[in-house]
Amino acid sequence: MSSHWQKPYRLFARCVRGLEGALSSELESLGFPRHCLIKGRSGVTVEEGSLRRLYYLSYFSRLCNGVFVEAASFPLRDKAAFTDSCADITWPAFIRSNGSFLVESRVSEGSGFIHCGRYASQLVKDGVSHHFGRSLGMPTPSVSFSDPDVKVLLHVGGGEARVLVDAVGGATSARRYRYKPAISDIDPTVAVALLHDIGFASLHTSHSDLNEYERLCTGMSEDGIASVRGNEHQMDAASPCHPAATKLRSPECPLADGSNIASQSSDPCTGFTKLHSPSNSASDKTIAPTDGSVVDLFCGCGTVLIEAAMMAARIAPGSLWSSFAFQKFGIYDDVSFRRLQRYAAGTTLPKDSEAYQSLLGSFVGIESCWEKVEACLYSAERAGVLDLLRVTQSDYLKDGLYTSHRSRRNGERWRYLIAQLPRLKCKFNDVPDHDGGISVDSTCNRKSASGVNSLPPAADRHTKHTRPTQNRKAQRSSSAVSALDPLRYYKLVHNISKFRQRFFEDDAKCVLVAPSLLQLPDLEAAYGGPLRGGRAFVKSGVPSMAYHSHQKDDPNKWF
């Protein structure tokens, strides 16, 4: 089997729409040349792609949610030309003759002969069959709808067809450490983007470089290749990519202590000597970071905290994957991929280093739901960062903050505030009298004192006198009941601002995730300072906006 492509292919790193700029900056920091990066819609295209660059991108990128190889791109003319173009693709580089594949199509703009995705997928499948059967005289790979070895994606739009091959086998944003994926939480790639916005990622880089990895692969001697192949089975059993490393544990099983977790994740490639790069010398690993702790007031399942802890501990997200789709490609460089695993293990912070010890308990979470706290702890254990987290269960935010603040270490500084505001719906505990003499807010049916609402602190809302409906049950089932209450959000943001002034450093950086229905001027008035960003995404089915404040507020300007 060949271990390199006959020609360079274009790689496509897919991401959530709106994160293209952050993804391009991340790839550039990982060592990809700037002139090879092309920002597009929902992703970044990498020119001059190779197998090693494909492995490196799939293993180290935290912001992309999918990595693909562009097999071909051609204009749409007619059915015969489309089938011939698909048959001209070098399919043995991606699909083995004894393997299986699946074609998925997305048609954004129909053409004269393609009107639906199923028909386009059938044409691509015919092109694969023609290439193997007629051109090469080899057995045709089978089609599998349940568990294919390789997935082929076809994008049709703008008079052009683009054939992509999935290199990972799934969304990289579906982190393998999630203990209960059914519980909705923020997307991990969006969480990493928020950490980028407040400058946390710039202080905790991965210390990995693409050029250095390519030099290690190019300069590897024959003895080194033989040693890698000789320890192949030993590495499979000890690596975190092995299925046993990500086995789901039952709630009855007690959590492992810090020492056990350290032994599992500090050296994910047992049997090999860790590689130390010039930028990742021993002095870099023993210097404790001077930055402060990350505090998530509504941590949920702990996605933001776990991503921040993995970033600080330099744990590559690809180390938690049991297998990748490119390992089943027709052309696969096993030695280079195992060298990549060794290189990633060498860049991880050792458990006994001063830098890692200074991170113990630096990621603080507060959550009221016991089920989410359980999911957070077990997910952190599977990610190998349980000893870095400190999660407090509290029904009230104020009590949780006091408890977490009293358990701080000596000299610990709270520098990063994450506030993922929960759902706050309208309350119907107070029903106005039938004489119509009580003022009720028209947007959320909340009673206000003397016809004036006191929240947000610097913004009043118009009220009017309304007469309640006679059928209270019908009133509860109306659409107004399920609507979110802006006034409760503004009050919560105002309280968070007071907590920030009391418990956090003066130069603390804040991330505020709120529903998009809230107005920015009202949020700034409730927060007491300017908010920047405005990154839009969907969190738990609710359109949300993420704002951040990374500069010291000027009280004379906002009060």
What pLDDT is attached to residue 539? 85
pLDDT higher than 70, residue 399: yes
Residues of the chain with pLDDT > 90, as a percent, come to 48
What pLDDT is attached to residue 85? 93
What pLDDT is attached to residue 437? 39
pLDDT higher than 90, residue 477: no
Residues of the chain with pLDDT > 70, as a percent, come to 73
What pLDDT is attached to residue 174? 87
What pLDDT is attached to residue 535? 87
Q: DSSP states of 154-187 as a string? A: EEEETTEEEEEEESSSS-TTS-TT-S-TTS----
Instruction: In the chain, count H helices and then E strands.
Output: 21, 17
Task: At 109, list the tokens.
Answer: 């703009």
Task: Give the orientation angle of helix 334-347 with respect to helix 222-230, to 10 degrees.
Answer: 80
pLDDT tens, 33-48?
A: 999 999 998 899 999 8
Confidence band, pLDDT 50/70/90 cuts, at residue 556: very low
What pLDDT is attached to residue 452? 44
Rounded to an integer, the average pLDDT of 165-186 is: 90
Q: How large is the greatest C-alpha to C-alpha distance in the chain, in angstroms?
A: 92
pLDDT tens, 405-450?
A: 888 877 788 999 999 999 887 754 443 343 433 333 434 444 444 4
Q: CA torsion 331→92→30→178, rounded to 10°?
A: -90
- CB of 542 closer than 8 Å to CB of 195: no
What pLDDT is attached to residue 517? 87
Rounded to an integer, the average pLDDT of 145-169 is: 92
What pLDDT is attached to residue 406? 87
Average pLDDT, the chain: 78
- Rounded to whole angstroms, the Cα distance separating 258 from 267 reads 14
pLDDT tens, 87-132?
A: 999 999 999 999 999 999 998 876 778 888 899 999 999 999 999 9
173-220+290-317+349-426+482-558 CATH fold: Rossmann fold (3.40.50)
pLDDT tens, 58-90?
A: 999 999 999 999 999 999 888 999 999 999 999
What pLDDT is attached to residue 425? 76
- CB of 542 closer than 8 Å to CB of 508: no
- Cα three-residue angle 316-249-420, rounded to 5 degrees: 60
Q: List 165's β-bridge partners, or say none.
A: 69, 152
pLDDT tens, 516-533?
A: 889 899 999 999 989 987
- Rounded to whole angstroms, the Cα distance separating 503 from 496 reads 10
What pLDDT is attached to residue 388? 94
- CB of 159 closer than 8 Å to CB of 143: no
Burial of 190 by CB count in 10 Å (0-12 exposed, 13-18 middle, 19+ buried)? buried
What pLDDT is attached to residue 110? 65
What pLDDT is attached to residue 6? 66
- First and final C-alpha spacing in the chain: 70
Report the range of poorest mean pLDDT among 85-99, 141-155, 339-353, 545-559. Answer: 545-559
What pLDDT is attached to residue 220? 53
Cα–Cα distances in angstroms (integers) from residue 218 to residues 10, 161, 182, 215, in the given order: 21, 35, 43, 5
Domain boundaries, the chain: 173-220+290-317+349-426+482-558
Helices (H), 180-257: 188-197, 200-203, 210-218, 222-230, 232-238
- Rounded to whole angstroms, the Cα distance separating 44 from 15 reads 8
pLDDT higher than 70, residue 32: yes
What pLDDT is attached to residue 436? 38
- CB of 102 closer than 8 Å to CB of 148: yes
- Rounded to whole angstroms, the Cα distance separating 239 from 225 reads 18
pLDDT higher than 60, residue 367: yes
- Rounded to whole angstroms, the Cα distance separating 492 from 472 reads 28
Q: Which amino acid is located at 78 in the chain?
A: D
Residue given tokens 């458990």 in the structure block: 351
Rounded to an integer, the average pLDDT of 480-485 is: 58
Report the range of poorest mean pLDDT among 63-77, 79-93, 205-219, 475-489. Answer: 475-489
Query: For residue 425, how many C-alpha atoms fall within 13 Å in the half-sphere facing its CB?
Result: 10
pLDDT tens, 237-291?
A: 433 334 343 333 333 444 444 433 333 333 333 333 333 333 444 334 444 444 6
